Structure formats: structure tokens, C-alpha cells
């Protein structure tokens, strides 16, 4: 397993997951709910920035590796799933949104594994719609975690709800895109 700065940043994102969850279980005497919200938001934004930064540095420093290409999307999926479960527990996100996003990740991960086994992994390689889906999720979740007022009047929860619905739509769109690309293999036909 290679170890370099981009992979270290990805591991930081993985390490942020239990911290993100733990914040909301700290006693109220340690942190008020607005303080927990702000801390969780800052931690999630840090993780989202490392998602961009680790890829950028890997390309820039010519340190791309198969392990890094494996770990990066796993870290993304884990932190998004953890944040969604925390938000679901606090009733800040709808069950259908969490099911769509987490269900898609499981489905496409399994599809990619199967497509690799049949030698057709290129047909389900990462596409722009998948990147848009990830970006939408990484932008929506901090608003839902913050759950306060912005600029004295703007509801972060309302903005986050609208953005997570957009993210859920993009999540479904990307799932159908990848399934359509894999359809010939799924039906037992070669392209």
C-alpha cells in the first residue's frame, strides 16, 4: 500500500467520520446544539475540501495510484453515508433521500465490481454526472448539518433541503446512466 500526501488526506477524510458522528453525542454541557452544528459543518467542509485536494495533489505531484483511486471514492461514500445517517437521526433529512443516496452507492459499487469481473469496467468508469452527484451531496450536507440562520434571515435547513433533493435527483440520474451503460452486459449481450 503506497503512502503519500494525497493518500494521507484521504485517510484524514476517513478519520473524520467517527468524529463527525461523535460530535452529536457529546453532552450538552460540553457543547450546545448550535456549537455541535457549527463544528460538524466545519469538519464536513474540511473533508469535502480534502476530496478535491487529494485528487489535485495526486495529479500535480504525479502520485496517482491504484490504491488511491480505490480509497478516494470509498472515503467519499462513507462520509456522505455517515452524515446522512446523523441527519436522519436528527430528522433533518427525509428517509427517501437517505435511501436513494445510500442505495445508489451500494448498487453502483456492486455493478462496478461485477463489470470488472466480466472485463467491462470501462463502460462504467467515472463520468461527469457522477462527479456532479458527489459535488451536489458535498454542498448540500453542510447546510443540513449547520441547521441555523445565515446572514440573519436565510434558513440553512431550507437551502440544504432543496440542495439535497437536487443531489438525490442527480444521484438517481447517475445510477440510471451507469445502469444504461452496463445494460448490454447485464442482458448478456456484448457491445
Nearest CA to 55 among 109, 4, 115, 107? 4
Residues 6 or more apart in contact with residue 121 via CB below 8 angstroms:
112, 115
Terminal-to-terminal C-alpha distance of the chain: 35
Q: For residue 28, give its domain range.
A: 5-186
What pLDDT digit, counting tens, does each position of 105-130 carry? Answer: 999 888 888 888 877 667 666 768 88
Encode pLDDT of 53-106 as tens digits.
988 888 898 888 888 888 888 898 999 999 999 999 999 999 999 999 999 999
**Residue 191 in domain:** no
- The fraction of the chain above a pLDDT of 70, given in percent, is 95
Rounded to the nearest 10°, the torsion over CA 130, 134, 139, 143 is: 120
In a domain, 114, yes or no: yes
The model's pTM: 0.87
The count of domains in the chain is 1
Amino acid at each position: 500500500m503506497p503512502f503519500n500526501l494525497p493518500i494521507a488526506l484521504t485517510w484524514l477524510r476517513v478519520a473524520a467520520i467517527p468524529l463527525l458522528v461523535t460530535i452529536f453525542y457529546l453532552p450538552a454541557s460540553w457543547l450546545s446544539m448550535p456549537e455541535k452544528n457549527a463544528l460538524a459543518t466545519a469538519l464536513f467542509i474540511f473533508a469535502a475540501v480534502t476530496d478535491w485536494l487529494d485528487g489535485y495533489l495526486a495529479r500535480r505531484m504525479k502520485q496517482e495510484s491504484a490504491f488511491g483511486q480505490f480509497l478516494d471514492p470509498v472515503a467519499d461514500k462513507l462520509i456522505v453515508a455517515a452524515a446522512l445517517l446523523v441527519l436522519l437521526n436528527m430528522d433533518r433529512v427525509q428517509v427517501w433521500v437517505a435511501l436513494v443516496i445510500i442505495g445508489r452507492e451500494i448498487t453502483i459499487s456492486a455493478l462496478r465490481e461485477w463489470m470488472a469481473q466480466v472485463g467491462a469496467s470501462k463502460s462504467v468508469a467515472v463520468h461527469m454526472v457522477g462527479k456532479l452527484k458527489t459535488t451536489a451531496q458535498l454542498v448540500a450536507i453542510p447546510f443540513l448539518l449547520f441547521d441555523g440562520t445565515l446572514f440573519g434571515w436565510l434558513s440553512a435547513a431550507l437551502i440544504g433541503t432543496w440542495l439535497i433533493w437536487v443531489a438525490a435527483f442527480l444521484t438517481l440520474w447517475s445510477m440510471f446512466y451507469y445502469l444504461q451503460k452496463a445494460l448490454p452486459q447485464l442482458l448478456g449481450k456484448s457491445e
